Structure 1
Amino acid sequence: GAPGSGKGTLCKRLSEEYGFSHLSVGDLLRRLTSSSNAIESISYGVHRGELVPVDALAPILKSSVDNEKKSGRKKILVDGFPRRLDQAAPVEALIGSPALVLFFDCPEHIAEKRFLSRRLAGREADDDQTFKKRYREFSELNLSIVENYHAKGILLKVSLVNYVIPA
């Protein structure tokens, strides 16, 4: 879903209700960049809400998924990935293909309101300009991702038009 669509909140609720392990790619990257030995190229992009290169993201995501599996967690909900279609195949080659892909469909005006009402730690600017940039990027890149997983028969589109995200 789009920035501000409620992905993180909904994925957290799904993980609690159905026993999934919830891996938020954004939270994972923000935690990683808060450490003193963070990779500069990742840290720079994360703090500005930009895309992390797949060659940097893939091993991080693989390590996190492997840790979840080692802990006995088999059902893993990966939140916020992929953000570009070219990210999917390299990561899926490392961690496996998803059984199901959820797409949270949220109108821009609702996503913007949600985005601007939150303040995420670790971001230099969660403001109107950042939202516009990230939403434009999402709009340009998302259709190919949705079409890819729809063609594979594993896409579930969830409309958030009338859904109120609980605080």
Structure 2
Amino acid sequence: VADARISNIQKSTDKAMSYTLIRNSNRNELENLVHYVDTSIQTELATIRQINEIASNYDAKHNILLMVDWKDAREGVLTYDVIDYIKEIINMHHIYLKGLAFNFMCFNAIAPTEEDVKLINQFITSIEEVMHMQFDVISGGNSSMLLQMLYNDLGKINELRIGETLFRG
């Protein structure tokens, strides 16, 4: 289950559930993030370092998806910085880089295209080859990616963050 508010995740009593926080955390939430959230989407290296430090205090491991800025200009690591980020993250003992995340239509009204899907897959393949690793999760976007999912093979993209579209259409 994914949520944008850690307070909602904290209310759950079902310990068998796995939770993902789909927005960046503020400093005051990082302790709770390590305790209640299995995976979070992160952008800032300073925040990832803090999560690593907090998780080390509890001998825990926290999963992250690294947000990549792709056309939206809202948030994320610039594509040419991704390898440097990954090199640092994979050396953190209490962080597991589970994969990458992408956004569409949060800030800019530019819908994802078939070309975006192709380029994202090429980008992921290149990163995996250079880093000699394979990502578990490629969170390829939000509800705006649904049309691409219906009509195109998403390739390595194996997760979409679908919110109220699930209920409202």
Shorter-chain TM-score tier: 0.3 to 0.5
Larger RCO (CA within 8 A; separation ≥ 6): 1
Using structure 1 for the length normalisation, give the TM-score.
Answer: 0.38
The structure with more strand, counted as a fraction of residues: 2
